[in-house]
Structure 1
Amino acid sequence: MESIYEEIKVGKCVGQKTIDGEEIPMVLQPAKSHQDDISSLLSTLRDNKEWFEKELVKHSAILLRGFNVQSAEEFNEVVETFGWDDIRYVGPAPRTHIHKRIWTANEGPLSEFIYYHHEMVLIKECPTKVILWCDVPPPEGGETPFVPSFRVAERMLEEFPEAVKEMEEKGLRYTFTALSKNDTASMRGRGWEDAFLTSDRAEAEKRANALGMDMEWQPNGAAKTILGPRSLTRVFPGRKERKMWFNTIVGMHGKEFSSATFADGSELPENAVKRCGEIIEEESIQFKWQKGDILFLDNLALLHGRRPSLPPRRVLVATCK
């Protein structure tokens, strides 16, 4: 539609890639210098919701840059402009509620790499959109790389057709062990009491079951969650019938507090898992955060992570159905 380009122009950023004919991320900037205020942005987004959502699915990621979004409150206004339903985060990352729909992103040590994942990929209902706002850009590192999931599926099918077929047919099983209380010294340090909003074991089990997971209690008070069987790939409407690599086998396989196996408990092929991690990195896209940036990710199409960073770095997040 022509009218939006009077308010917003399509820009560029270092790190963009052209994938299957589309620039990822799509970069949107103010068309005129006097439009870099929140009221102008909100008005433009409000009037062009359908166009924006269509472009998000088309490009998988949209970066809003130069709109001078200055606070968590203003970021929340941007999120709420679209009318997308909120979905509460469920997962191992320690997070703090900031304002209405806005939370901190993973509060684990900035020195650690957060591995690529689709947000809440193992939960029955995961977000379709992950929205990030940069309050304090890091002085070095700290990028939020993302990966077109269909490219990983394509390349794994090319290199490991038999292993992919076996994982598709057998399904996957995951486990993760969470301590009782939060441990912010770990990027996966969210305790089960915080995750399930209760210190009552029976109630925690009930809430876990509702999300599609079983629980086993450990002698030290930790909770081992078991999820499966889960699929290796998914196909979602409106995304060119692409097969998405919708799993977390690389991120959870053989780790200290987690595992990823075939649904029957047998081990996944080590060489395929290792090579998958290399392919994901090879396909990654990233840019340098600038203050006020807002990044919209199609969670059904992209894996995302976090590079190690020098402090300070502050990125807030909202997740939408």
Structure 2
Amino acid sequence: MEGCWREYFKVGMCEGEKVVDGETMPVVLQPAAEEENKSDMKTLVTAVKKNREWLEEMIEKKSAVLLRGFQVNNAEDFNEIIETFGWEDIRYVGPAPRTHVYKKVWTANEGPLSQFVYFHHEMVLMKEYPKKVILFCEVAPPEGGETSFVPSFRVTERMVEEFPEEVEGMEKKALSYSFTALSKNDTSSMRGRGWEDAFATSDPKIAEIRARALGMELEWLSNGGVKTIIGPRPLTKVFEGRKGRRMWFNTVVGMYGKEHSSATMADGSEIAEKVVTRCEEIIEEESIQFKWQKGDVLFFDNLALLHGRRPSLPPRRVLVATCK
């Protein structure tokens, strides 16, 4: 297996990559040779089939793996790569407005490109969340629009170093979150997904059943919207096969004190604002600024990385698949 991947891939470099704890993020895999038949979809699918286990190991070891320079042109090509891995997809549940494109492929957050999508682990608050987030750049933005990402364990390490007592307190008490959504989608907001779309029903009773299955409770509002209450949830998590690292597996910064959301201790006590403010700074300091090129396919270990989206000039079209 060690030698087989070299028939199809060579390790390259990309702007914005960073070495973290001895590992380059993202690791860039390019066609092994310049010839066109070494970079076409047929060759890529063959390469994935023959090196599937090795590629999965790379995603877990490196956290971010980028396929660059292959002729991946559209949602159908992107879906074929996902199908070749044999991964089962998991339906997205969350506030981001998204549209189904083709089979396992969806649009990424359709909120205005001028808005920053804050760093998060995908579906971090759900009982079940994807292990892998795979992104495909169909149209690269002319400026901005980076999908930045952050090694989650580094956030935990630095927060423990600077706020040992506060982190211990949040760890012991666990966390609770709330989020308010309208009934219909509002694409003028990066968090504008309506509850009818999120729960795939316009029936409040069915929505409540589906919400409970996901580990959340609903409070109905007079304007037809709903307040979602989620908790208790942990502050950090340790996942098998990732060096025993404590991942900053929460969304405190993304939901604390925002217009339509909140984050508190599970017992209702407040989290100190200075802790959240400093955590946001640390996440930014640890972020890796990945710049898109057309045809890029980027694999994230969702258990190890937070990711977000920088503001962008149009056009930009990035598609996504979330898999177990």
Which bracket does the TM-score occupy, shorter chain normalised? over 0.9
Q: Which amino acid aligns with 2:21?
A: D
Cα shift at 1:70: 0.5
Aligned position for 2:126: 123
The answer on 1:140 being equivalent to 2:143 is: yes
Q: Which consecutive aligned stretches of 4+ in structure 1 deviate over 4 angstroms post-superposition? A: none
Q: Are 2:4 and 2:51, in contact at CA under 8 Å, matched by a contact in 1?
A: no
Aligned position for 1:204: 207
Structure 1 counterpart SS, 2:113: coil
Aligned position for 1:95: 98
Candidates 294, 315, 318, aligned match of 2:318: 315
Q: Which amino acid aligns with 2:164?
A: P
Cα shift at 1:3: 1.7
Aligned position for 1:5: 6
CA distance in 1, matches of 2:184, 2:7: 51
TM-score (norm 2): 0.98
The answer on 1:257 being equivalent to 2:256 is: no
Cα shift at 1:2: 1.1
Structure 2 counterpart SS, 1:259: strand
Unaligned runs of 5+ in 1: none
CA distance in 1, matches of 2:22, 2:181: 42
The answer on 1:64 being equivalent to 2:78 is: no
Aligned position for 1:16: 17
The answer on 1:266 being equivalent to 2:269 is: yes
Q: Which runs of structure 2 are paired with 1:1-321 in the superposition (5 Å)?
A: 1-34=2-35, 35-321=38-324
Structure 1 counterpart SS, 2:156: helix
CA distance in 1, matches of 2:135, 2:13: 18
CA distance in 2, matches of 1:42, 1:166: 48
Identity %: 69
Cα shift at 1:61: 0.2
Structure 2 counterpart SS, 1:130: strand
Q: Which amino acid aligns with 1:20?
A: D
The C-alpha deviation readout for 1:101-142, integer Å capped at 9, x for no partner, is 000000000000000000000000000000000000000000
Cα shift at 1:287: 2.0
Cα shift at 1:266: 1.4
The C-alpha deviation readout for 1:149-204, integer Å capped at 9, x for no partner, is 00000000000000000000001000001100000000000000010011111110
Q: Are 2:15 and 2:290, in contact at CA under 8 Å, matched by a contact in 1?
A: yes
Structure 2 counterpart SS, 1:66: coil
The C-alpha deviation readout for 1:255-283, integer Å capped at 9, x for no partner, is 00000000011110110110000000000
Q: Which amino acid aligns with 2:131?
A: T
CA distance in 2, matches of 1:86, 1:6: 29
TM-score (norm 1): 0.99
Aligned length: 321
Structure 1 counterpart SS, 2:219: strand
